[in-house]
């Protein structure tokens, strides 16, 4: 038991408090993503389909565990007076678009030579589409910077 005059918040120095907040935040984000999948979130693109297939019993178990974890995170956050941070998702989107832009440029025919011989006509067929996608990724980087 803690002495009556010691508060939970006094048990951590600022660095420890920040490390605890970051760890709990990452876990909380992962839990919320898992819950979204349990709630039926599905992603469908031209190149992939992502959905959760889980038997009903295991789905219920996961939901119970996630709820318990989220409740405990809320309690620990309150007990140690961990701050809630507000984030603008634009920064995350901007970073992802910037990475995509660089990756797209590395997918042009000339860059693919690093992985083996390239067909002489590949540049004419592939590069205009890749350049177009890279231009869009760069434009989105700028849009989400404003």
Token pair listed for 102: 């660089």
Parse the chain into domains and list their residue ranges: 8-79, 89-143
Q: What pLDDT sits at residue 3?
A: 55
- Residue 9: the pLDDT is 74
**In the prediction, which pLDDT does 7 show?**
76
Q: To 10 degrees, the CA torsion angle through 54, 59, 65, 66? A: 80
Backbone angles phi, psi at 11, to 5 degrees: -85, -10
**Taking the CA of residue 125 as centre, how many other CA atoms within 13 Å lie in the half-sphere pointing to its CB?**
5
Label residue 25 by pLDDT band (50, 70, 90). Answer: very high
pLDDT given at position 137: 97
Closest to 140 in 3D by CA, of 108, 106, 107, 98: 98
Per-residue pLDDT, 129: 97
What is the mean predicted confidence (pLDDT) over 76-88?
Answer: 93
Question: What is the rounded average pLDDT for all residues in the chain?
Answer: 93
pLDDT tens string 102-119? 999 999 999 999 999 999
DSSP state of 82: P
Q: Return the SS3 of 90.
A: helix
**What is the predicted pLDDT for the residue at 10?**
84
Share of the chain above pLDDT 70, in %: 95
Taking the C-alpha atoms of residue 93 and residue 145, their distance in angstroms, rounded to an integer, is: 9
Reported as a pLDDT band with limits 50, 70 and 90, residue 13 is very high
Label residue 34 exposed, middle or buried (CB < 10 Å: 0-12, 13-18, 19+). Answer: middle
When pLDDT is cut at 50, 70 and 90, the band that residue 19 belongs to is very high
- 121: which DSSP letter? T
């Amino acid at each position: 038991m803690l002495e009556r005059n010691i508060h939970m918040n006094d048990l951590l120095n600022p660095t420890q408090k920040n490390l605890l907040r970051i760890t709990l935040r990452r876990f909380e984000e992962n839990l919320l993503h898992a819950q979204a999948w349990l709630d039926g979130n599905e992603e469908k693109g031209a190149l992939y389909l992502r959905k959760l297939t889980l038997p009903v019993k295991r789905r219920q178990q996961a939901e119970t565990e996630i709820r318990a974890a989220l409740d405990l995170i809320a309690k620990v956050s309150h007990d140690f007076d961990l701050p809630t941070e507000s984030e603008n998702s634009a920064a995350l989107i901007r970073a992802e678009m910037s990475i995509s832009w660089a990756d797209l440029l590395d997918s042009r025919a000339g860059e693919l030579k690093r992985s083996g011989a390239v067909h002489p006509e590949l540049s004419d067929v592939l590069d205009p589409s890749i350049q177009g996608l890279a231009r869009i990724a760069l434009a989105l980087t700028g849009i989400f910077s404003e």
